[in-house]
Amino acid sequence: MAVAAAVSSSSFDFMLVGFVDELDKIETDYLKTASIKPTVWWRYIDDIFFIWPSTPDELFSLMDGLNQHTPGIKLTLEHSLNSINFLDVTIYRDSYHKIQTKLYTKPTDSFFYLHYTSCHPTHTINNLPFNQALRIKRISSTPEELKKSLTVLKLKLNRRGYPSNVIHQGILKVLNEPLSISTNLTTTNPQTNIVTNTTKYYPKVNLRSIITTNQKRLENHGDTESLHNCQIRICYKRNLNLRDLLVKSDIPNKDNTKPHGCYRCKRNCICCNFFLESTEVISRYNGKIYRINNHLDCNTKFIIYLITCKNCRIQYVGQSGNSLRVRLYGHNNDIKKFNDTPVAKHFNTTGHQFQVQIVTKTSRNTNVRLRHEESILDLLATQAPGGSNEQN
């Protein structure tokens, strides 16, 4: 019997890091002592595929034992004698009782591939049909399933603006080459010095051509002569997109009845246990006050937060794109593992306990959020030695 088990939390507050830790315990503790063991047990993060050599009743007994062994999480089971989905693969038994594989897509998959007119390097966009077709070829074990999945891929790429000739060339290249092409990595001479130029992509600037044309001139110039016999590699990072540039058009409702301040979410989550409800935050070092100008709780995302030690009153300012509830799991994990972080180092000393407040909600953009964090950090003076934030 082929069986796949998907992991989900029985607690609203359980984080993925906790999943992985508990699953490690299952594999090292419980399975080793089980009377009947799976023939195969493969896990990718929190998705598990295994082959069960015994009866369904014994299988359900195993699942009950696993869930009792780890009360913090719940293993949910999908099982079949003939077909099972695992990640993006369907593993099935054909009419000749031979194991085959084919592409699996979730019913909710929207197939939002990168649009052909998107502002990305040409080679990135033109290689997308090839890469997707190669993925399908790796997964599909029969020519019939390969053909069927490639036909669907053509339709989806056409809808995303890809020219038929670009799609055809990418698919044809995959069909004409062995699968080993995916492992033929480009190698460079170990004695070659590689200089990486990281920049944002602009479609009207052919940076590679400019560098190639002027490389000799750069090598002969006093300031850049170190580029002699170097290979210059160009790497592009993400440019500003519409999400970064656009703002909401609606005007905030001034009659909002929710009071300003930071409050517990009232769901008795782990964050509520450490949360200090307040309408302002106060620096314990310089006495400065920051008044909270919106309604915030454990589930508010894109935040600047303040941790204060109940014992010595030392403070730490941090930022997160996740909610405070999720961020605290990260700090808690650092403390448990004695990681070398400012919060873990302080609260792993005897007698120190923390309480937390949200200072403000801020931008989705990470760079903007980091700058905002720095300004709050300066205002509340939480850099060492007055606080726990390390000096830059």
For the segment 232-259, what is each residue's pLDDT rounded down to a tens digit? 888 888 888 887 888 776 666 654 578 8
For the segment 210-226, what is each residue's pLDDT rounded down to a tens digit? 888 888 888 888 888 78
Could you tell me the pLDDT band of residue 296, with boundaries at 50, 70 and 90?
A: very high
- Separation of alpha carbons 336 and 285, rounded Å: 28
**What pLDDT shows up at residue 391?**
77
Of 262, 376, 359, 355, residue with least CA distance to 309: 355
Is the pLDDT at 118 greater than 60, yes or no?
yes
- Separation of alpha carbons 55 and 290, rounded Å: 63
**What pLDDT shows up at residue 13?**
38
For the segment 344-355, what is each residue's pLDDT rounded down to a tens digit? 888 888 778 889
Distances (CA, A) of 339 to 248, 344, 372, 379, 382: 40, 6, 26, 27, 20
For the segment 48-57, what is each residue's pLDDT rounded down to a tens digit? 888 888 888 8
- Separation of alpha carbons 40 and 34, rounded Å: 14
Which one is predicted more confidently, 7 or 187? 187
* CA 322 to centroid of chain Cα atoms: 11
Of 160, 159, 132, residue with least CA distance to 146: 132
**What pLDDT shows up at residue 367?**
87
DSSP annotation string for 230-281: EEEEEEEEPPP-HHHH----SPP-TT--SPSEEE--SS--TTTTTB--BSEE
Instruction: Report, at the CATH architecture level, how domain 2-86 is classified.
Output: 2-Layer Sandwich (3.30)
Give the CA-trace dihedral at 371, 376, 377, 382, to 10 degrees: -170
Residue owning tokens 């990470």: 366
Is the pLDDT at 191 greater than 70, yes or no?
no
Is the pLDDT at 309 greater than 80, yes or no?
yes
Q: Mean pLDDT across the stretch 286-313?
A: 91
CATH 3.40.1440 correct for 261-380: yes
- Bond prior to 129 in cis (omega within 30° of 0): no
DSSP annotation string for 362-373: --SSHHHHHHHH
Could you tell me the pLDDT band of residue 385, with boundaries at 50, 70 and 90?
A: confident
Going by their DSSP bridges, the two strands 295-297 and 261-263 should be labelled as parallel
Cβ atoms of 76 and 8 within 8 Å: the answer is yes
pLDDT mean across residues, the chain: 84
Is the pLDDT at 343 greater than 70, yes or no?
yes
- Separation of alpha carbons 189 and 33, rounded Å: 51
- The residues, any chain, with a CB within 8 Å of residue 308's CB and separated by 6 or more, are 276, 284, 314, 315, 316, 354, 355, 356, 357
